[in-house]
Amino acid sequence: MLQVLERTDNPVVLKLNNFEGPFDLLFHLLEKNEMDIYDIDINEIADQYIDYLAGMEQLDLDIASEFLVMAATLLHIKSRMLLPEKKSDTEEEEIDPREELVVRLLEYKKYKAASGILKKQEELWKDCVYKVPETVEYKKEYENTPMSVLDLMTTYSYLKNIFVKKNNKNKKNIVSLMKHELYTVKNKLKEITELFRRKNEFNFNRTFDLKKRHRLDVISGLLAVLELAKFHKVTLNQRNYDEDIVVKKIDDIQLKELKELMSESAEE
């Protein structure tokens, strides 16, 4: 930072900053001298302003023309302030020569404060990247078209026919085959064998109750019991034709052995 001494009786050290313009320098002088902007000591400010320019000239610094214009303006105001005031009852009160300068200084102060706020915002957001919203244009693939009740019925019938055509015609047969595979004699033999491990006899009508089981399940169970009776593994007791059938084990049932016997019997 460069320093220049004022050419006054009481020298004061002045700091020569890089001022952005003549008004920036004027504000610096007002703050340094603690002057009211509405009551500027134009003599003191004009002298210090000229001293600044002289110091810059001595240091071979380029002085912008706007600084020289401001210096001429200050000297002009100073000269007008030195003139004696004309006192007259008829004439209007003379305008203060400093008034125009004060107005310009206030405008500059306002914009300088705004620039300070913008500078802080710039420092805060300088590393942020954003994209300005823009309107996205797209092409409509479908448009609303008026439809009558008849059109809706025709469309519904068309979609229903497509759905029916997709269905397998052998759907019912496939379900029936799956049930047959589920209710086989071999499966029932396994179920009865597990039942005999817990007890030696059981009531067939209660175990294979038509109200709780599928008809094919009961039929397969009855065939399995008859196969066991055929190979002398169980006995069947029924007092009357309308009473329950009691199935009693008379020999251990081995599924592997039983399946072999059933296979031999089928071959014969």
Structure tokens at 68: 């020289």
Local mean pLDDT, 10-residue blocks, the chain (268 residues): 40 49 83 82 85 72 73 83 66 72 86 88 85 80 71 83 69 54 79 86 89 86 88 85 84 69 56
* Structure confidence at residue 176 (pLDDT): 54
* Structure confidence at residue 218 (pLDDT): 87
Q: Taking the domain 175-267, which CATH number applies? A: 1.10.10.580
Percentage of residues of the chain with pLDDT beyond 70: 71
Q: Tell me how far apart the alpha carbons of residues 140 and 143 are, in angstroms, rounded to a whole number.
A: 7
Which residue ranges does the chain devote to CATH 1.10.10.580? 175-267
Is the full-model pTM beyond 0.75? no
Phi then psi dihedrals of residue 200, to 5 deg: -90, -15
* Structure confidence at residue 85 (pLDDT): 67
* Structure confidence at residue 168 (pLDDT): 61
Q: Are 222 and 229 in contact (CB under 8 A)?
A: no
In 3D space, the residue among 67, 78, 90, 2 whose CA is nearest the CA of residue 43 turns out to be 78
pLDDT digits (tens, 9 = 90+) for 87-116: 655 555 667 778 888 888 888 888 888 888
